[in-house]
A and B are shown apart, each in its own frame.
Chain A
Amino acid sequence: MNILQVKNLNAWFGDHHVIKNISLDYMTNTISAIIGPSGCGKSTFIRCLNRIHEEVPSAKATGEVIMQGKNIYDADVVSIRKNIGMVFQKPTPFPAMSILDNVLIGVRLQEKLKKARLMDIAENCLQKAALWDEVKDKLNKPGTSLSGGQQQRLCIARSLALNPPILLMDEPTSALDPIATAKIEELMDNLKKEFTVIIVTHNMQQAARIADFTSFFVLGDLIEHGPSTEIFTNPKNKKTEDYIMGKFG
């Protein structure tokens, strides 16, 4: 079943056309990767999917992104974002906030809940983000006191707290060391049981390891999209093949 359909998406920075008429479908409970050389618009593309792209001055996007039958470009921007989680390149724990507050902030903005219920949500999300065992004794320490990998998992837990059907990840491991990266990859494999994950990565091996589907972008164009196994072993497009063979990029 398709949870997210992108139709004729275009995006600009000022006059610079960075995403050129892209249409893509995403299936429920899968991990889809977006790869491509730097500057190909992969980050911009994923940032259009929760409309965070428009927060940049002079940025503009047109087209449709249909989630569960509704075009998010017709809906209220604040309310759609809570249904689409996002994890950024660098860990973004909110400064001056404890680990617990970081996890719960999204929920707290939406509704007032009893303390016990909030604690349940926090534990549940930190479990899912494979962070609970490491932080359960120091929930009141500042979020910024954790290591980089832990901070990134804290940010994942924070997004999960709103229980979004879709989780967007913009190069989530590029600022992390190999061990922390491996942990997050392992975690993502578990996440796809409940969520649909779309991940941008500059690391082809990572896409091959974790993604069910992979799209290949060059200069704002979608060159090829398909099951990862096919993209990486039997690419149909010459450009894809060259990129995978390391001839450019």
Chain B
Amino acid sequence: MLAIAIIMLIVSLAILLFKLSLPAISKFGIGFIWGQVWNPISEEFGALPFILGTLTTSFVALLIATPLSISVALFISEICPKKIGHIIGIFVEMIAAVPSIVFGLWGIFSLAPWIQNSATPFLKSTLGFLPLFQGPSYGIGVLAASLILAIMIIPTISSFCREVFRTIPLQTKEAALALGATRFEMIKITILRPSFSGMIGGVVLGLGRALGETMAVAMVIGNSHRLAISILAPGSTMASVIANEYAEASNAMHMASLGYIALLLLVVTLMVNGLARFIIWKWSPKI
């Protein structure tokens, strides 16, 4: 009975959300996704800047977080002594427990000035020829948001990878060493190779988290509605624009458009999480 009620609740939520955004859906249709203008005054709405912002920040975050998370997971479970590993494990989990508003606050007052004064000159002198790193930096912007996201999703990915690595029997690892493999070769053969799809599952889970993260991003991304190529420029994500504009939406169409974005965000995160679970499920019977 209760189960039915919960399922009904979920379905009704989806319907309510759909109803909320119906005006925007019927006015802009599917073209909303690639509309580039977001102007509450002229009631013209398009979500492309936010969709691109979400994709860029999540992608850059994954690029940074994936190798780090996997190495940390390996370090904890295979390389360092058990006790130290346990402590580092708790520290990594603690990153996940820090409220995102605190990340945001730290991002504004500590990370953003660092990006503006230290990271940007360095990036410009080394990679400045790329359009990705051109234009002025205000500190806050896409890069700051990506870095914060990377920090926030490291625990998700690395905890999951540790779970995956844990399924490898000790004897299999010893067998590799007994064949004259170095520690690195042992890890490559018996851990990384069979865990590949499991690790992908973890990365996709991390992506799901990055896509939906709101406050920390809203505070450091700069909230610009314009499209920009440079990751030093300010931008916006789907989640951040909702957080910033929802409570003071100026008119019904503005609100409906934000609802539409929420609906898109919901669909995308559900799909990404579903994909992660599918990969994990496909992978697990092999062990």
Direct A–B contact in the complex, CB atoms closer than 8 angstroms: yes
Instruction: Decide if B171 touches A109 in the complex (CB within 8 Å).
Output: no
B40 at the interface (CB under 8 A from A): no
- CB atoms of B179 and A88 under 8 A apart: no
A97 contacts the other chain (CB 8 A):
yes
Say which residue of A52, A78, A96, A106 sits within 8 Å of B196 (CB atoms): A96
* Interface-facing stretch out of B10-18, B180-188, B210-218: B180-188
Q: Select which of A55, A90, A97, A158 is within 8 A of B179 by beta carbon.
A: A158
Contact indicator A105/B174 (Cβ below 8 Å) = no
Asked whether A234 is an interface residue with its Cβ less than 8 Å from the other chain, the reply is: no
Q: What bracket does the count of chain A residues touching chain B fall in?
A: 20 to 34
Per the bound structure, the CA–CA distance linking A78 and B185 in Å amounts to 11
Collect the chain B residues with CB atoms within 8 Å of residue A55's CB. Answer: 174, 177
Taking the complex as formed, is B267 at the interface, i.e. its CB lies under 8 A from any CB of chain A?
no
| Closest Cβ–Cβ distance, residue A61 to chain B (whole Å) | 15
Closest approach, in angstroms, between the C-beta of A162 and any C-beta of chain B?
A: 7
CB-contacts of B146-194 with A (<8 A): 168-169, 171-172, 174-182, 185, 189-190, 193-194
Q: How far is the CA of A134 from the CA of B185 in the complex (A)?
A: 29
Q: Which of A111-135 contact B (CB under 8 A)?
A: none
Q: A109 to B177, Cβ gap below 8 A?
A: no
Interface centre among A50, A85, A105, A155 (most CB of B within 10 A): A105
In the complex the two chains form, is A109's CB within 8 Å of B174's CB? no
Q: Which residues of B contact A158 (CB under 8 A)?
A: 179
B82 is an interface residue with CB less than 8 A from chain A = yes
**Any chain A CB within 8 A of the CB of B81?**
yes
Q: Cα distance A211–B180 when bound, in Å?
A: 27
- Establish whether residues B180 and A81, one from each chain, have CB atoms under 8 Å apart when the complex forms: yes
CB of A86 within 8 Å of the partner chain = yes
Using a CB-CB cutoff of 8 Å, which residues 55-98 of chain B contact chain A? Answer: 81-82
CB distance from A92 to the nearest CB of B (A): 4
Residues of chain B with a CB closer than 8 A to A73's CB: none
What are 27 A-B pairs with beta-carbon distances under 8 A?
A50-B178, A57-B81, A57-B82, A78-B182, A79-B180, A81-B177, A81-B179, A82-B180, A85-B178, A86-B174, A86-B175, A86-B178, A89-B171, A90-B171, A92-B172, A92-B174, A94-B193, A94-B194, A95-B168, A95-B194, A95-B286, A95-B287, A106-B179, A106-B180, A155-B175, A159-B178, A159-B179
Q: Which 6 A-B pairs have the closest CB atoms?
A: A82-B180, A95-B194, A96-B194, A86-B178, A92-B175, A106-B179
